[in-house]
Amino acid sequence: MAKKFIFKQNQIIGAAAAESDEHFLSQCFVDNGSIDIIRHCNDPRHILIGRTGSGKSAIIRRLVDYEDHVINIRPESLSLSYIANSNILNFFTEAGVKMDIFYRLLWRHVFCVELLKERFQINTEEKKKKFLDIIWSITSNNKSNENALEYLKKWGESFWQETEYRIKEVTTILEKELKASVDGNIPGIANLSGTAGRKLTEEQKEDVIHRAQEVVNKVQIRELSTVMDMMNDILLSNQQQKFFITIDKLDEDWIEDNLRFRLIRALIETSVDFFDRVKCVKIIIAIRSDLLDRIYRYTRDPGFQEEKYRTSSLDLSWTKKDLIEVLNTRIQLLVKEQYTNYQVTYKDLIVEKIGKQEAIDYILERTLMRPRDIINFFNTAIRLSDGKPTINKKAILEAEGIYSRERLRALYDEWFGLYPNLDNFTTLLQGRGQPFRLIDISNEELTENYLRLLISPQAHQGIDNDFAKMLFEGQIDIDTYRRNIVQILYKVGLIGLRTGSNLPISWSHISGAGVSLSEISNDTRIYIHPIFNRVFAIPLDIDIETI
């Protein structure tokens, strides 16, 4: 069969991004166990966490194949830029007023409306009237639901408008109430804007915070809570009928970072609240692990308990068996559409060994164990096998070089938010032997490296740049700086660490656990990930330990 099949350079086994991969994804989806977890409304895990390319979006897109009631909310469609551009809200935020309760209110409001519209299929005026009649018959003799009815009545027609409209209206009401809380009550405030909020005296800030925080803290939380209770007790009481709300693409630039982090944290808190109170509803959030790190880092305040949300998280991971299945199902579809129904696997199409190693193991070693990696590597190898029936050793090695450079650029993009100067530190890995010790990164190399960063006009503000400044200003010594830089390189997946002679190599993309600074010593062995061997000019004839 293999002799009948000839590769063409424009063939692929799928696209890197799920939204561009519908043809293969719809027929070749491989479940690593995550679908069953997120479909169970009694399982608290609903926050899909993974690095870019780990399959978060694919899982969300496939959920609609399993469930009847899936509501997708796109962050960019929520008109949250209206909040970001509000002079009034910016004034109070800069003054120190915490808006977190208001942000949670927004998410609650959006979710309640979307769920009721889906549950009662409210898409016409007649159906809306029928729904309100049902609500009235339920609540007319039940005082515990009076507040819920009052909430629905208060919002009236606007309750059923598009989400964008509702967010603007809720925000406008808060703006009016906040403005009224300070108008004429605090001397010296001529206008409300972010700049004016930053220029307030300490006495003015204290007064503004006291007055405004009261307004924020009472914005319809009680009434909206009763709507949630009513949904759980009456409207959504059929345990056989499940409802899912999915939210993806939170890493895109749908709003400026500071507000985006606060809104995402409020989203996570609201999703946990819904799970606790509305039993047949599950809010599925897909979020990149690096973005979640930034959210926890930049929104942390007294009383925040990160571990509380860990029980709601599902970290996506893939085994060798899973990734081989991803590869085989896509190969089968590629061949089937053009040649035969005969069962074809990677063994029919690629050379058996690279040196002494199985070719499939050689390829998988050069991934971060994500579907996107194996798809990209194989696509590159196909392009280099034009006109041939198999992918030979030469094509795999040439593909590795191209793929290695592409993966490094993708890594810079993935971690730019936390470590925007990562490319500066990767020069410390160039041409190293395998493995090398921490102390092998000399003081002279580090000094040249961090000074180059500090004087570079292309340098960006970030955690990595902060360490360089701290070293320059004498806040940390060069040994601490060395360990911090290596910890960053480990976290992003560039290197693995062996912190003890009797311990295995630790890779962040496999263990998921961090390596603390106290575990990193001068004798710590550093292993450059095989995916980057070519781009860092690591000799090909060395014996690289398997992952």
What does each of the 547 residues of the chain score in pLDDT, given as a tens digit?
A: 444 678 888 889 998 888 888 888 889 999 999 999 999 989 999 999 999 899 999 999 999 889 999 999 988 777 677 888 888 888 888 888 888 888 888 888 888 888 888 887 877 777 777 777 777 676 666 666 666 766 666 665 655 666 777 778 778 888 888 888 887 667 667 677 767 777 788 888 888 888 888 888 776 666 677 777 777 776 666 667 899 999 998 888 777 788 888 899 999 999 998 888 888 899 999 999 888 888 888 888 766 677 777 889 999 999 999 999 999 999 999 888 676 667 889 999 999 999 889 999 999 999 999 999 999 999 999 999 998 888 999 999 999 999 999 999 999 999 998 899 999 999 999 988 889 999 999 999 999 999 999 998 888 888 999 999 999 999 999 999 999 999 999 999 999 999 988 889 999 988 766 788 999 999 999 999 999 999 998 875 534 344 3
Token pair 């980057």 is at which residue?
532
CB 69 within 8 A of CB 236: no
Identify the bridge partners of residue 285 per DSSP, sorted by sequence position. Answer: 47, 247
> Whole-angstrom Cα distance, residue 547 to residue 545?
6
> Whole-angstrom Cα distance, residue 465 to residue 469?
6
> Whole-angstrom Cα distance, residue 484 to residue 300?
21
What pLDDT, on a 0 to 100 scale, did the predictor assign at position 404? 94
For the record, the structure tokens of 181 come out as 């809380």
Using the Cα atoms of residue 252, residue 421, residue 51 and residue 257 in order, give the sign of their dihedral: negative
Tell me the residue ranges of DSSP E strands in 416-546: 436-437, 495-498, 525-528
> Whole-angstrom Cα distance, residue 327 to residue 321?
10
What pLDDT, on a 0 to 100 scale, did the predictor assign at position 542? 39
Token pair 């003054």 is at which residue?
95
